Homo-oligomer: A and B are copies of this chain.
Amino acid sequence: MKTEEAILTRRSTRRFKKKQIEEELLNKVIEAGRYAPSGGNSQSNHFFVIRDQKLLDQLAEMVKNAFSKMEVHEGMYKSIVSSITQSKSGNYVFHYDPPCLIVVANKKDYGNNLADCACALENMMIMANELDLGSCWINQLRWLNEDPDLLKLFYKFGMKEDERIYGALSIGYPDTEDGMPERKTVARKGNEVMYL
């Protein structure tokens, strides 16, 4: 696929087949993430590639529990409100049940942590589309990145004490009839451009 096509046809996938991603494709996606630019070339993104079904289920449960204990307040970001509401109803799987979740952490005291993580996630989303995989940006672990139980779990996975999670990506084969990502190009109505 040409670069332009991979960028313009990328869409979010929220329903995945159970099939695990082929190792070769997964490695290409991760390498794309590792080659994203970073502030002062710090290369301090730390990737956690979670394919163990028990761990994925455990994470979903922990995130649901954490949001269940939170209260909605005025001016809260609407996606967080939605996570809380769904969690309280008892029916919430934040990662859309993918075969693989790639979590990205970075140094908490580093001024470019979120930006660097976002560039890596964007690279991985484009590469996933190129490889006929579907993916979706996942924010919940960033919103909960001071949650003591989640911190303890990721420290066990090898996250450093001075790192926090800034984003994640659900990725896998799209659960469509032909197993391919939906690629309808939808015109952008927002994202206004001013020429000076």
Please list the residues of chain A having a beta carbon within 8 angstroms of any beta carbon in chain B.
1-4, 6-8, 10, 12, 28, 30-40, 42-52, 55, 75, 77-80, 109-112, 114-115, 118-123, 125-127, 130, 137, 139, 157-158, 167, 188-196
> Could you say which residues of chain B place their CB within 8 Å of the CB of A130?
2-4
What distance in Å separates the Cβ of A86 from its nearest Cβ neighbour in chain B?
14
Give the number of copies in the complex: 2
Expressed in whole angstroms, the minimum distance between the Cβ of A88 and any Cβ of chain B is 20
What are 28 A-B contacts defined by CB distance under 8 Å? Answer: A4-B127, A8-B31, A10-B35, A10-B37, A12-B37, A30-B193, A34-B191, A37-B122, A38-B190, A39-B77, A39-B79, A39-B137, A39-B139, A43-B188, A43-B191, A45-B190, A45-B191, A46-B191, A49-B194, A52-B196, A75-B109, A77-B111, A79-B112, A115-B167, A118-B118, A120-B191, A123-B126, A126-B126
In the complex, are the beta carbons of B194 and A137 less than 8 A apart? no
Q: Interface majority SS on A: helix, strand, loop or mixed?
A: mixed
The CA-CA distance from A130 to B110 in the complex, in Å, is: 30
Known: A118-B115, A125-B37. A190 touches B10 (CB 8 A): no
Residues from chain B with Cβ under 8 Å of A2 in the complex = 1-3, 130
**Neighbour of A191 across the interface among B10, B28, B33, B118, CB < 8 A:** B33
Contacting pair B110 A114 (CB below 8 A): no
B residues less than 8 Å from A77 (CB atoms): 39, 110-112
Q: Is the CB of B123 within 8 A of A49?
A: no
Closest-by-CB residue of B relative to A31 is: B8
Give chain B nearest CB distance to A106 CB in angstroms. 10
CB pair A190–B37 under 8 Å, yes or no, is no
| B194 lies within 8 A of A158 (CB) | yes
